[in-house]
Copies of this chain bind each other. A is one copy, B any other.
Amino acid sequence: MSVPPTPSAPRLVLASASPARARILEAAGIGFTVVVSEVDEDAVTEAHPLAGPAELALLLAHAKAEDVAARPEAAGALVLGCDSVFELDGAAYGKPYEPAVARERWRLQSGRTGQLHTGHSLIDASHHGTAGTGGTGGTGAGRSGTTPGPDGGNAPSATALATASVTFADVTEAEIAAYVGSGEPLQCAGAFTIDGRGAAFVSAVHGDPNAVIGLSVSTLRSLLRQLGWSVTDLWDSYK
C-alpha cells in the first residue's frame, strides 16, 4: 500500500503579515509567499457577538484565507490563514498596542494560566485533483474543475483550531516595566511571546508551542493531509 505519487507541489501563500508566522514557516523549511488580507477584523468580531475566543480565532483565520484566496495572486495556490486570540478567564485578549494596556494585562496574568487559540484555515486552489497525475486522497479536491482562477469560494478547504495553555511566571513590577519598555508585547496577542524577551516570563506551555507563536506546523500538516498533500511536498529542497 504505497503512497500514490503526488503531483508537483503547489506554492503556499501565507495570508498574514505576521513576521513570527513567517519565521516559523522558514525555520520549518516550507517555501511560501505572503499576501496580506484586507479583512476588517473588528467587523468580523462585531458580526459574531456570541463567538467565544476560540471560535473567533477560527472565524478570523478563515476570513483571512478566503479574502486572499479570491485574489488573482493566489490563483493555483494553497492559501493559509491564521489568527491568534488569547483567553484568560473566558475573556478574549488581542494585541495591547498601548504600554498602559500591556502593563495592566501583565499585572492580571502574572503567575496564572491562560489559553492561546490559533485558528488555521487552508484553502486549496491548486486543482491538483484534476491534473491527471494520480490520486490524492483529498476531500473534494478538484471539485471546481481545471480552470485556475480566483475561486476561493469553491475550492476545497479545511480548518482547525490549535489551543495551547500558557503558564506565566510570577513577575515583578520592575520586570513588567522593563518588558513593556522593550516594546515587544505591544504587538502580541496576550501581550507576550515565547520566542523573544517574553520567554523569560513563560514557565510552561501545554500544547503545540508554535501555536502560541502563531502557526502550528503540526496542524498545518494535518490540514494538508485532509486536502491530499504531505507537508514534505512543501519542503524547500525535498519536492
Interface residues, chain A, with chain B CB atoms under 8 Å away: 3, 24, 27-29, 164, 169, 172, 174-175, 178-179, 181-182, 184, 194-197, 199-210, 212, 217-218, 220-221, 230-232, 235, 237-238
Contacts and interface: CB of A to CB of B under 8 A. Distances in A.
Contacts of A210: 194, 199
A47 to B, nearest CB: 32
Contacts of A238: 178, 181-182
A197 to B, nearest CB: 5
30 contacts: A3-B172, A24-B199, A27-B196, A27-B199, A28-B199, A29-B184, A29-B196, A174-B230, A174-B232, A175-B231, A179-B232, A181-B238, A182-B235, A182-B237, A182-B238, A194-B209, A197-B235, A199-B217, A200-B218, A200-B220, A200-B221, A200-B231, A201-B221, A203-B208, A203-B218, A204-B206, A204-B207, A205-B207, A205-B208, A209-B209
Given A172-B3, A206-B206, A218 B235 contact: no
Nearest to A193: B27
B205 A209 contact: yes
A29 to B, nearest CB: 5
Contacts of A175: 230-232
Contact of A208 (B3, B181, B204, B221): B204
A230 B209 CA distance: 25
A202 B222 CA distance: 12
A167 to B, nearest CB: 9
Given A24-B199, A199-B24, A204-B207, A182 B230 contact: no
